[in-house]
Chains A and B, each alone.
Chain A
């Protein structure tokens, strides 16, 4: 569904040229859970922003076979501080001009699904990190996306919260026919969630290898198979 060809992005900062990503090529199938794994500063965030069309590539091509309706989940939530939970989730629909009754229906359902009942009228300031990210995910789901991009969505959260949100993300993915592209620097997170893992290296960011994650779902992160796959991935990164 997505075909990325020879993507390069060069930033100019104080007349100095910095190559964020260079000659990146990959494809993502419809309904696939695809992960870009790499260290901080390898340009994976830039790559995701180009896919979301908030950053222009210097050269290269992005082809979507179906028209992408993109949802985006940010590492630091990027919620609108002046809006309540309800209004934040409804934001995309409001911008599309969906009427108030329809918005209310959709948001109500999402609030239930995301476990945000009782927090409808709270502002982001009054929410915990985990709750904020639930709002962030719900805001994306409200526009009924066929592609969900997630930029280190659980990296600012404690491990307990992160784990429950990973489970939630998987249940969301199973329920909907959605392509997910996830960015992370956590090897375990990549293995637990995704169908395929792309390893990126930095300066400049390029794609090194792609791993087919053949582990059966639901995945047990303490099973021997999981450890074996982890070894394979670590070896792939080191080589």
Chain B
């Protein structure tokens, strides 16, 4: 029991720590600007002449849509599981070890089963994504839920926040920073999973686009594709997740 608790605590803390050092750097803006300009120049030079930009961005858009859909489901499930697990000490004692075993189960092992059920369709990739994305969010949420101070919970109850009011006005805002840090980890793992899943299933997406370029021996397209993907993910992280993380610091307990 104590082992599991410590484990997820460490995982959450380590991540928060990394982000803090990143934010501390005053040159983040300069670095990011240079990086962006450099990549854009590279793409211009290497040329839209050979890269089918339309196909690439279309593929990226499809992958992004799948990750987003899986993310919404994963957050929702993680939230429900957190509420369920934290309902009583007995449920927690039974379910935490089970969840810990489940989270170390390789999601791609379920791949053949999903293919049997759904065929080689995009739904399979979304299912793979959901079971990849849920764990970082769930375990950061469980850790954060444990760290809510007892007196804050008591204050909530005394001043009338019970039932859904407790959920909406107390629990959700208290867990908000954890949702963000968990989401950042889970999106990182999701990009890894979606590329692989798309290549294996063969549905159109950024993974298949890169795989095709590989089989056709178009190295320059591969290089540009990878750089473009890097740039897009960088923009996503910098402008969505990092700014969300910054705004979530005011929600943090002391």
Nearest A-chain residue to B157, judged by Cβ = A54
Among candidates A52, A75, A81, A139, residue contacting B253 with C-beta atoms closer than 8 Å = A81
Nearest B-chain residue to A71, judged by Cβ = B158
- Beta-carbon contact of A91 and B159 below 8 Å: yes
Residues on B with beta carbons closer than 8 Å to the beta carbon of A70: 158
In chain A, residues 54-79, which have Cβ atoms closer than 8 Å to a Cβ of chain B?
A: 54, 70-72, 74-76, 78-79
Query: Knowing A82-B251, A123-B250 touch, does A143 contact B154 (C-beta < 8 A)?
Result: no
- Beta-carbon contact of B160 and A95 below 8 Å: yes
- Beta-carbon contact of B160 and A82 below 8 Å: no
Query: Knowing A72-B158, A92-B160, A125-B254 touch, does A82 contact B176 (C-beta < 8 A)?
Result: yes
- Beta-carbon contact of B173 and A52 below 8 Å: no
Identify the A interface with B (CB < 8 A).
49, 52-54, 70-72, 74-76, 78-82, 91-92, 94-96, 123-125, 139, 143
Among candidates A53, A78, A94, residue contacting B149 with C-beta atoms closer than 8 Å = A78
Identify the B interface with A (CB < 8 A).
149, 151-152, 154-161, 165, 169-170, 173-174, 176, 250-254
CB distance from A195 to the nearest CB of B (A): 24
Among candidates A52, A78, A92, A95, residue contacting B152 with C-beta atoms closer than 8 Å = A78
Residue among B155, B157, B161, B251 facing the most chain A CB atoms (10 A cut-off): B155
Residues on B with beta carbons closer than 8 Å to the beta carbon of A91: 159, 161, 169
CB distance from B143 to the nearest CB of A (A): 17
- Beta-carbon contact of B151 and A52 below 8 Å: no
- Beta-carbon contact of A80 and B152 below 8 Å: yes
Query: Knowing A82-B173, A82-B250, A124-B254 touch, does A96 contact B158 (C-beta < 8 A)?
Result: no
